[in-house]
């Protein structure tokens, strides 16, 4: 199973915003932190806003923030909402092949996909930011600590 770049960017954007909370972020800042295209990220941010996962504030002093608490953002749901096609093979999309009547591969792949999504359905953004992971991510993404917060250990 391989997720698209679009879904990857969506998940990374949510992680960045979760680490950066409660402050607002910009598309430029997120793109710079990950070394990715602002143009691609703009499309991702637009959809995350339409899905109600992030809040976009326009104008001077605007920016991006999570629209929900991290514990309410389920990774499996984000994957389902950002992936265009979870069909692992053509027969998932209704296309038949010569071995369809006797094929057991479709069932095995279906079970594997269900197991993959089941794990992601048990994982929230809060889980990804838990404990020392948040300060490690902040350091790696070069996000400054909030005012009054203790600096991350080296």
Domains of the chain: 5-140 (1.10.10.10)
> Where is 42: in which H helix or E strand?
helix 38-50
Q: How many CB atoms lie within 10 A of CB 115?
A: 10
Query: What predicted TM-score, i.e. pTM, was given to this entire model?
Result: 0.84
Task: Report CA 111 to chain centroid distance, whole Å.
Answer: 23
User: pLDDT averaged over the chain?
Assistant: 86
Closest CA to 125 of 80, 74, 78: 74
Res. 62 pLDDT band, cuts 50 70 90: confident
One DSSP character per residue, 60-112 reads TT-EEEESS-GGG-BHHHHHHHH-S---SSGGGGT---TTGGG--HHHHHHHH
* Long-range contacts of the stretch 54-60 (C-beta < 8 A, 24+): 54/13, 54/14, 54/17, 57/24
* Cα–Cα dist 97/40, whole Å: 35
Give the pLDDT of residue 88: 66
Give the pLDDT of residue 106: 77
* Cα–Cα dist 134/136, whole Å: 5
Q: What are phi and psi of 16, to 5 degrees?
A: -60, -50
Query: Using one digit for the tens of pLDDT, what is the confidence trace for 80-113?
Result: 999 887 766 666 666 677 777 777 887 888 898 8
CB 122 within 8 A of CB 12: no
Highest mean pLDDT among 69-73, 88-92, 93-97, 146-150: 69-73
Residues in the chain: 154
């Amino acid at each position: 199973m391989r997720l698209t770049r679009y879904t990857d960017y969506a998940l990374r954007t949510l992680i960045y915003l979760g680490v950066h909370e409660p402050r607002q972020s910009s598309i430029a800042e997120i793109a710079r932190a990950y070394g990715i295209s602002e143009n691609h990220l703009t499309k991702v941010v637009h959809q995350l806003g339409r899905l109600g996962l992030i809040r976009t504030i326009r104008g001077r002093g605007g920016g991006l923030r999570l629209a929900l608490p991290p514990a309410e953002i389920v990774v499996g749901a984000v994957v389902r909402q950002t992936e265009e096609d979870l069909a692992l093979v053509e027969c998932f999309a209704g296309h038949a092949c010569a071995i369809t009547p006797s094929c057991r591969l479709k069932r095995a792949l279906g079970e594997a996909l269900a197991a993959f999504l089941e794990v992601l359905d048990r994982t929230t953004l809060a889980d990804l930011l838990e404990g020392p992971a948040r300060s490690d991510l902040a350091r790696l993404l070069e996000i400054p600590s909030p005012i009054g917060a203790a600096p991350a250990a080296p």
